[in-house]
Amino acid sequence: MIFPEHLNEGDTIGVISPAGPADPEKTTRAADWLKSLGFQIRLGRHIFDRAAYLAGTDEARLEDVHTMFADNEVKAIVCARGGYGSARFVDKIDFSLIGAHPKIFWGYSDITYLHTAIRQETGLVTFHGPMLASDMAEDDVPMLSKQLFSQLFQPISLRYDESIGPLTILSPGSASGYLVGGNLSLLVSSLGTSFEIDTRRKLLLIEDVDEAPYRVDSMLNQLRLAGKLAQAAGFVIGNFKYDKALDDEAGNFDPIFEHYLGNLHKPVLKGLMIGHCQPHFAVPLGTEALLDADRKQLWIQPGVC
């Protein structure tokens, strides 16, 4: 794996919108917070473009990705929001450019597709964390969400346990491997493509939002049929939330997780505040991690050098 260099005070952080359009006011407000930490901010040329549900054309969004990676003054790239659209240009990314200019890349949700493609094509460790316009622009952002940005400032090992919130053991045991994954629907959409998620001997992180239980069931079944669940070493279940449930049972994902993951004889830990939630526990993807379901702990090695 390739580890990006950590940030130093005064470094420049680039901000882009590879998927859906970002709100200018919220993006500026959150960028001001990064400035208060001592960083310079460089907005992508097309960050506020809009084409229906996309942040401008595919060519414009791809241009911002390439420009930020090629710019040696930019030491980290943070996405303003998710939405939809990253996969539309993933096959046109110049991965040799990214490999020649490795740097911090941060986001989640639709950005999962870019995390998977970049890691598997270049070996670069990237970061699954809250985005500026959609997560970090409000006055009441939990301190934990802000504090987890500190893993970019120096190599820091992370530990997630019940001091952060209650966790549930769906299957006991322990396993180690690279932590990979992210948004469940984006992982499933990679199947059958050149950027299909590789789960072999990996700890697979899954999270999602506004997906009905039958949809989560269908997606996990597709991963099962593709062999991705059997190949994984263990499972980390982040935040799943469905507010449109008509009754309590309709919004209960536990039987689904137990059906697909509980009988694999691999450790499964549920309830981590990772994903579409606050606080949002940001994690590096592609680093070594240890999942100890028996002790309800997840240890993750640093994502920067």
Which residues belong to the active site? 109, 207, 276
Angstrom distance (rounded) from CA 156 to CA 304: 8
Report whether 14 contacts 77 (CB < 8 A).
yes
**Amino acid at position 288, single letter:** E
- How many Å is the Cα radius of gyration of the chain? 18
DSSP 113-165: HHHHHHHHHH-B-EEE---HHHHSSSTT--HHHHHGGGGGTS---EEE-TTTS
Q: For the chain, how far is it from start to end, CA to CA, in angstroms?
A: 11
Give 266's contacts (C-beta < 8 A, 6+ positions apart): 171, 173, 175, 232, 233, 234, 235
